[in-house]
Amino acid sequence: MLIGYIPISKLTGISSEAARTRAVANLFHTCMRTALGPIGPSGETGVDMMSGDGVWRRCHPILAIFVGDYPEQALVTCTYGGRCSKCEVGPDELGEYQSFPLWMQSKVLDTYRLADGDVHMFHQACREAGMKPIYRPFWEKLPLTDIFRSITPDILHQLLQGMVKHLVSWLIHIFGAAAINARCRALPPNHKILLFMKGITTLSYISGHEHKKISIILLGLIVDQPVPGGLDSSRVVRATRALLDFAFLAQYKSHTSESISKMQDHLIEFHENKAIFFDLGVRTQFNLPKLHSLSHYKSSISLFGTADNYNTEQSERLHIDLTKDAYRATNHKEEYSQMTTWLERREKVQYFSAFVDWRQQRGHDLRPPTRIAIGPPRAYTLTVKMTQKPSKKKVTFDSLANDFGALAFQDALAEFIAQLNYPGASRGALRNHAHNTHIPFSGVPVYHKIKFTARGDLKDTEIMDSVQVRPEQKDSRGRIIPARFDTVVVQGDKGNSHFVKQLNVLLTDNYSGRRIAQVRVVFQIPNNKIDQVFPSPDTRPPLYLAYVEWFTPIPARPDPKHRMYKVSRSIQNGQRNAAIIPVESIVCSVHLLPRFGPARPQEWNTFTVLEECHSFYINPFTDMYSYLTFG
């Protein structure tokens, strides 16, 4: 909630630069003291407040967290730029993996108490303490506040726009813009990734959101690339993987002690491998406050909860809503009172509208909403959502082979029908039954998309994932839209149809029955033929079926260097190994990173790479499911 605006005057009337900087900082602290002063006594004696569930409680408001970027953190803690706002690390030790004692608030306050005495002695004492000479920092009298502890991780500026941005520039320096951009143009599409079709080195400005999207594909852009000078690439790959892991874990929405210590392990791993950036001449030192800040994530998350609780992305968003938009709503004269009135009205409207939503959703049930249990990090359970009508009412078997590439569709369908009609039959017997199965139709209704919604705490309508399965098309202006057949994770024991047992036989691998497949057709058995194909009324096929091409079983262990799992096209008798499975056994889409090898074939591109490349790595960074399963 907005409680006040702070002026950002540059105080240009003061001619001495040092005096001006001090005055600006003092002005800031005076404003903050005015704004937060009232919570001082209430923090000690308590004040009655009603919480969202309507219960009155005695509350002790305290300043717990300050959310801000690095210059703001330094301003608040009175520390110098180039130093840490939390600990006493020296200005040339920021690149070390080592812990340093936190600034001690009581000791610092002893220094600031000298402010009313001799000014030279005060400045001298501040210099010795490593603190800026501020007249009475605003947190001086706030009860139970430790300003140095209250400084929290800042994912946006320290990681996404900080270390990830640095890492990207180092890797571009090592591998060259051309090689990195060429790989960007040859990654297969997926619901959860952003394609940088012009590469990532040509962008003039990269937002935090884009850096988040780059960190999903970054490992795929460098893995197996040769390092100049014939040096071994494994340390670059290890350092990259470690920093990406750290960034992914730091953004978890819930943590356990285990996930926090894993995060720390990855930070150590980065430090152990970072010297390669010296060896390759990319860096001469690592004195980066942003790198050092990562060493405080573990304790901050343990103290204050997950990092999304204090992400500056949110406060920057509020700055737009509460300041810029509010200012625009005024006539630009005497703007403050207009802005606050405008905001107050908007807040009231928002509260009322939230109340109306809540009433309408819950009908007459006025019990407070039940809390969602916070547990160990987990992925959303997704539910398949199909459109009511098929995209095409009938596509012939010929067209499925020619346009969809489903070359063995009829054989796979015969096999599927035999499996359903003769449950428990041996493989040999099934082959005979399939051979004798007559298919009494020449085409099927097909769907071009499988959508997934989240089950549980999110609104049911939000599309969390989707799988596109369509041949080349033309848009209304005659332009070609390339074909797209997405890759998915299939799980043997998912879904509740009795077909699951047979499917488990197909998924003969040792990876909890999971397997990667490319979906070529999503279809239904024509309604009016079901009785003919399945004579027993007890045997009903699943509503939606998919013709998929399998990849090789997921190996038990990932590659030791980059920790990704390798899969290749599964080939049998020179043909791609294909089968028909129920759509409900598809868990989610999966992004595959092509194994480009040292020399990338020039003709591969986003739309052809799944066909032309034979072997891939499973991308672990697309979402929680992939990270927890393949991470």
CB nearer to Zn ion: pick between 89 and 444: 89
Interaction of residue 166 with Zn ion, rule CB under 5 A: no
DSSP, residue by residue, 536-584 = STT----SSEEEEEEBPPPPSS--TTT---EEEB-EETTEE-EEEEEGG
Least gap, CB of 480 to Zn ion (angstroms): 55
Among 52-60, 76-84, 160-168, 375-383, which window interacts with Zn ion (CB under 5 A)?
Answer: 76-84
How many angstroms separate the CA atoms of 387 and 382, rounded? Answer: 16
Whose tokens are 């459109």? That residue is 387
- Distances from the Cα of 3 to the Cαs of 34, 38, 277, 323, in angstroms? 11, 12, 46, 12
Least gap, CB of 87 to Zn ion (angstroms): 3
Q: Is 416 helix (H, G, I), strand (E, B) or coil?
A: helix
Spatial CA neighbour of 212 closest among 200, 226, 204: 200
Interaction of residue 86 with Zn ion, rule CB under 5 A: yes
Among 84-92, 200-208, 316-324, 354-362, which window interacts with Zn ion (CB under 5 A)?
Answer: 84-92
DSSP, residue by residue, 117-175 = S-HHHHHHHHHHHTB---SS-TTTT-TT--TTTTB---IIIIIIIIIIHHHHHHHHHHH
CB nearer to Zn ion: pick between 87 and 379: 87
Among 81-89, 245-253, 299-307, 526-534, which window interacts with Zn ion (CB under 5 A)?
Answer: 81-89
Interaction of residue 87 with Zn ion, rule CB under 5 A: yes
- Distances from the Cα of 579 to the Cαs of 116, 314, 502, 509, in angstroms? 82, 47, 12, 15
| Maximal CA-CA distance, the chain | 103
Interaction of residue 298 with Zn ion, rule CB under 5 A: no
CB nearer to Zn ion: pick between 108 and 521: 108
Least gap, CB of 226 to Zn ion (angstroms): 37
Spatial CA neighbour of 420 closest among 300, 569, 527, 542: 542
CB nearer to Zn ion: pick between 77 and 524: 77
DSSP, residue by residue, 298-322 = HHHHHHH--GGGG-HHHHHHHHIII
CB nearer to Zn ion: pick between 122 and 310: 310
Residue choice 84, 417, 507, 533 for contact with Zn ion (CB under 5 A): 84
How many angstroms separate the CA atoms of 369 and 496, rounded? Answer: 30
How many angstroms separate the CA atoms of 156 and 608, rounded? Answer: 35
Interaction of residue 290 with Zn ion, rule CB under 5 A: no
Interaction of residue 126 with Zn ion, rule CB under 5 A: no
User: What residues from 22 to 61 belong to the interface with Zn ion (CB under 5 A)?
Assistant: none
Interaction of residue 62 with Zn ion, rule CB under 5 A: no
CB nearer to Zn ion: pick between 86 and 241: 86
φ, ψ of residue 548 to 5 degrees: the values are -125, 155
Among 86-94, 328-336, 339-347, 548-556, which window interacts with Zn ion (CB under 5 A)?
Answer: 86-94
How many angstroms separate the CA atoms of 298 and 263, rounded? Answer: 8
Angle between helices 177-184 and 165-175 (to 10 degrees): 110
Interaction of residue 151 with Zn ion, rule CB under 5 A: no
CA angle 466, 472, 478 (to 5 degrees): 115
User: What residues from 448 to 487 belong to the interface with Zn ion (CB under 5 A)?
Assistant: none
CB nearer to Zn ion: pick between 91 and 555: 91
164: Cβ contacts below 8 Å, ≥ 6 apart: 211, 212, 214, 215, 218, 243, 244, 247
How many angstroms separate the CA atoms of 290 and 191, rounded? Answer: 31
Interaction of residue 165 with Zn ion, rule CB under 5 A: no
Least gap, CB of 618 to Zn ion (angstroms): 36
CB nearer to Zn ion: pick between 131 and 483: 131
Interaction of residue 102 with Zn ion, rule CB under 5 A: no
Least gap, CB of 17 to Zn ion (angstroms): 28
Among 62-70, 88-96, 196-204, 406-414, which window interacts with Zn ion (CB under 5 A)?
Answer: 88-96
Interface size with Zn ion, residues (CB under 5 A): 4
CB nearer to Zn ion: pick between 157 and 212: 157
CB nearer to Zn ion: pick between 72 and 465: 72
CB nearer to Zn ion: pick between 36 and 84: 84
Least gap, CB of 83 to Zn ion (angstroms): 8
Least gap, CB of 626 to Zn ion (angstroms): 33
Least gap, CB of 280 to Zn ion (angstroms): 28
How many angstroms separate the CA atoms of 372 and 455, rounded? Answer: 13
CB nearer to Zn ion: pick between 297 and 499: 297
Least gap, CB of 102 to Zn ion (angstroms): 8
Least gap, CB of 103 to Zn ion (angstroms): 9
Where does 320-390 have alpha helices with state H? 326-328, 335-362
Residue 277, Cβ neighbours under 10 Å: how many?
A: 21
Interaction of residue 149 with Zn ion, rule CB under 5 A: no
Site residues for Zn ion per CB under 5 A = 84, 86-87, 89
